[in-house]
Structure 1
Amino acid sequence: MRKKTKEIKIGSVRIGGENPIAIQSMTNTDTRDVKKTVHQIKELESVGCDIVRVAVLDVVAAKAIEEIKKEIDIPIVADIHFDYRLALEAIKHGADKIRINPGNIGGDDKLKAVVDAAKDAGIPIRVGVNSGSLERDILNKYGGVTADGIVESALKSVSLLEKCGFYDIVVSLKTTNVPLTIESYKIISEKIDYPLHVGITEAGTIFSGTIKSAVGIGTLLYLGIGDTIRVSLTGNPIEEVRVGKQILKSLGLSKGGVEIISCPTCGRTKIDLIELAQKVEKATANIKQDIKVAVMGCAVNGPGEAKEADIGIAGGIGEGLIFKKGKIIKKVSEDKLFDEFIKELNDILKEKSL
């Protein structure tokens, strides 16, 4: 069961409480280039991103938030490092949330200025703690980077905000180490009720980063920990959202969209199942209805093993079967198999929309 946390509003999206787990990503464009940034955010929106973060490197980038917001439909988070003035400018120009480290923003007076501005704007602050930037005294106390040290650093940052009378807080504790990240979140989830932003930082390339993120984020979500997630990959941010969606679907934590079941192929497979599965995945990527699709290698196991699928394909020798709920509805030659499958799928989608 998911741990109950405080509800926080980020623009049009609410996280924590009973709200669905929100998927986040971050643009890799120059925020000052409004056109490119808007284009990338719209791409992220199209694949299911709920919240987007942008880097605010200078005042020009902070001011660009105002123009970017006019063109997008999801909340925008300003990522701030060190300079409190950039946080103030980002808030002034419409950021729906800011991400800061209260300990390096420039001192108590400057932190209070940021907090007061966030209060007036009615926006939350995310406290971001990274294992690579822990305070020296904490590193000395624990003899290096440890889960207890990461949590202590986060709680210290939270207390700085609370002393300013600010409680619309989101917390993240990110490391590149999966077990360390899991342990850190487990500890802090027992100490605070603020919503938790979960992820494995600097996870790696699309291949290795997907695996690390799925293990780390998936474990935490299975334990009931996490209110919003960001998959950090070295690649197109769209892949971060796709992976995030699949993690949620794999645990049954999101509704809507296609779940694909496909077999790994074996010596019985006589059609190009790999290409077929990839075509099906691409063709169904943006479907919003909740539907299960199977792409199986042979008629021996196909309809039986995937009988829970709404619709499926089972390969044969130069031909294939199309089945619904385990019942074969037609046999089609391989060259027409994909097109016939799409026709039958569209019929199901029409029925579901009625």
Structure 2
Amino acid sequence: MDPQQRRGRGAVSNRSGRFEAQDRLTESDGWDMEEDLPQIRTEVREEVARSFITYNKSPDLPFDRSINPYRGCEHGCIYCFARPTHAYLGLSPGLDFETRLTARINGAEVLEKELRARKYRVAPIAIGTNTDPYQPVEHDRGITRACLEVLRDYRHPVAIVTKGAGILRDLDILSDMAGQGLCSVGISVTTLDPALSRRMEPRVPGPAKRLQVIRALSEAGIPVRIMTSPIVPGLTDTEVEALLEAGREAGARAASWIMLRLPLEVAPLVEEWLRTHVPDRADKVLNRLREMHGGQLYDAQWGRRMRGEGVYAKMIGARFDHAARRLGFETQSIPLRTDLFAYPIRKGDQLSLF
């Protein structure tokens, strides 16, 4: 696709998803004439959700439930492992994922209904595990904030993952919940190089801004984790120690890492990006990934998909562990309280006798 059309976006193409019978390619019509091609704009559709909490049984994850206020993500991180989910909507995991978004407008209402169900048993809810809850559309829609208001009222524990500076708008809710041991936040910082960040994650606040967010959250009493994720072999792997040092200086108390993951359509999208933006590094990145996954670009097996295997993967893990210990980071999930969960009193509710 013409670079001017996709300016400010992460993906290079808009190839169809794996369920489509036909692929879409942009080709010249043969006329030697300049055309004023329109830049791709973001579209937001609305969805009335019937359910909102998603459950998982993955042994790789420190949570068993999550919520996602939006489908698709305008941040446009080329490496996003959630891109293949857009194929279920009949859309492309490429540029469609970044530009054709869905806002789940009744999310807070459905969330409250699910929390009040008799069979519900409290455990931390994760937000931002699929798409970022503080992507630009949240500034207008406010669905994430509405969900946090519900969780605050029910004194329900929540763990948030984001790259967005918009989280600072909700400091009032988050600091209140953190004071009760009900909230933690993970901020993903992939690189300290602003130029690389702008190409790799084009609509995300720059690295310096994300470190400022860590500092602001920490100063507000909210426990923060710096997530050096994903580590891109041959591209950002030299920055592991520097990222951790910057996060610690900004006030992060915990740290974690994940190796670059290329499930399904993400693999060809990332390869296109590498050959377009860093052609001298492309083969090195791809070959490192193959080394860690038995000759494949990705292995979806639990226990291997997040970190990979082999000498290189062990070396990255050892470097991270050494730096984390030196800097005094916690590497386990920040514990959150579940014993405070209670239904708030609503108008018309039957009051307890005692």
Q: Same fold (TM over 0.5)?
A: no
Return the TM-score normalized by structure 1: 0.40
Give the helix-richer structure, 1 or 2: 1
User: Which one scores higher on RCO, CA 8 angstroms, separation ≥ 6?
Assistant: 2
Return the TM-score normalized by structure 2: 0.40
Structure with max Cα Rg: 1
